[in-house]
Amino acid sequence: MMHNGNSGGLNAPFPTGFLWGAATSSHQVEGGCTNSNWSAFESARDAEGRPRIAGGQVAGDACRHWYRYPEDIGLLAGLGMNAYRFSVEWSKIEPRQGAFDEAALSHYERVVDALLTAGITPMITLHHFTDPLWFSEQGGFAQPGSPEILARFARKVYERLADRVCYWCTINEPSVYAVNGYVTGEFPPAEHDLRKAGLVLGNMLHAHTRMYQACKEVNPAPQIGIATNVFVFAPYRRGHPMDIIAARLAQRNLNDEFFRYLTTGEWDFHFPFMLRTRLRSMPADAFDFIGLNYYTRFHLQFLWHDRTRVRSVHTAPPEKTTDMGWEIYPEGLGEVLEMAAGVTAKPLYVTENGIADDSDHKRAPFFLDHLRALAGARRKGIDVRGYFCWSLLDNFEWAHGFTKRFGLYHVDFATQERTLRRGSAVLRDFINACRAT
């Protein structure tokens, strides 16, 4: 299911219309997000009285992107980028159930108009991890009516912006939301319930389909997809049968079943002797593209005594590890693109790829190696049409607070000064070289 592509040098596979961009999410950069599950989570404590976020940090003003977006759009242009993926903040737009804030909707209209004026294509994410307090207090995505609630919100935003925005992501990384919120407890509501995680993930996938349908009823022209994290999973002990099974189960449940849901409308979340959750007879092919967020490869070890039975083991040397402790494995980007191209001929976008590297020693080779993998995928005929770096700015990195720095631009949070990192300059040069050929 692959399309014919160019061959030749590193720059040759990228056509004129290729989207080169960066990505952000509202809670992480905007500031003033005080009405969400995340704002409540940041001020909460765990059972031992420890703060939920590293160092007790809160997002607070973050990057003040709500006010500084004109300047930040200029930063995108300075990198030669022609696209920007950002999210709208549900808790600002619908602060109370059914009550939509006109000022917030108008704000996002101004952001879109400023992008278009600058010649930058917007890609809007409708849900990026954060929920309004009223929604989480009702049970969040564990409640049966959640897909319709999110579809109503999506339709409201889409009605305002679909005449100007051609690319939409319904939900960002539903499996991360479900696993981190209901298995590891790193995200709100900090529960440890695999069955509930399956319920939540199923409702989020259903919500994607309902969002797609509701938006297409308004205007069928824009392209609507979903952004999923795709990790590469490998056994920690190559010859150990239980480690091999653990890696295969992770691949099946977190990657393969997601793609199967999109293309067939059926989904089966199954961990033997622990959980089985299914979705049946949802509309198939309720997507126009797939967004792939790729960061790393995980080596999995099976442990009988562990509550979740499986743990990720760090195997990479320090020079091949990010500040998140993740292995730098650029070949994996090509692998996940091939994985997706094997199940659909529809367009693919790399909607996130980046590195936490405060020292800035690894950023330049990280991007160059991943761009080589991207070029290789296009040479193989894989229909990948855009690449978005995570992230434009240093920001509030969820449970890690401000301690992990993914930004192409360094942010001094005391002064809000943005400074281009040296390692990011190679990306700018690469984009400019591609656009010049």
Residues 6+ positions from 343 with CB-CB distance below 8 Å = 1, 259, 260, 262, 263
Tell me phi and psi for residue 246, to 5 degrees.
-60, -45
How much is the pLDDT for 274?
A: 80
List beta partners, residue 226: 290
311 band by pLDDT with thresholds 50, 70 and 90? confident
Share above pLDDT 70 across residues of the chain, in percent, rounded to a whole number:
96
Q: Burial, 437: exposed, middle or buried (Cβ in 10 Å; 0-12, 13-18, 19+)? A: exposed
Q: Which residue has the tokens 């402790």?
A: 325
How much is the pLDDT for 338?
A: 98
Of 5-9, 211-215, 359-363, which gets the smallest average pLDDT?
Answer: 5-9
Tell me the pTM: 0.96
How much is the pLDDT for 10?
A: 53
List beta partners, residue 86: 124
Tell me phi and psi for residue 110, to 5 degrees.
-65, -40
Mean pLDDT of 232-246: 93
Mean pLDDT of 338-346: 98
Tell me phi and psi for residue 245, to 5 degrees.
-65, -40
Side chain identity, residue 185: G
Q: How many residues does the chain have?
A: 437
Residue 49's CB is within 10 A of a number of other CB atoms, namely 6
18 band by pLDDT with thresholds 50, 70 and 90? very high
Report the distance separating Cα 322 and Cα 353, nearest Å.
Answer: 13
For the annotated catalytic residues, the residue numbers are 173
Q: What CATH fold (topology level) applies to the domain 19-436? A: TIM Barrel (3.20.20)
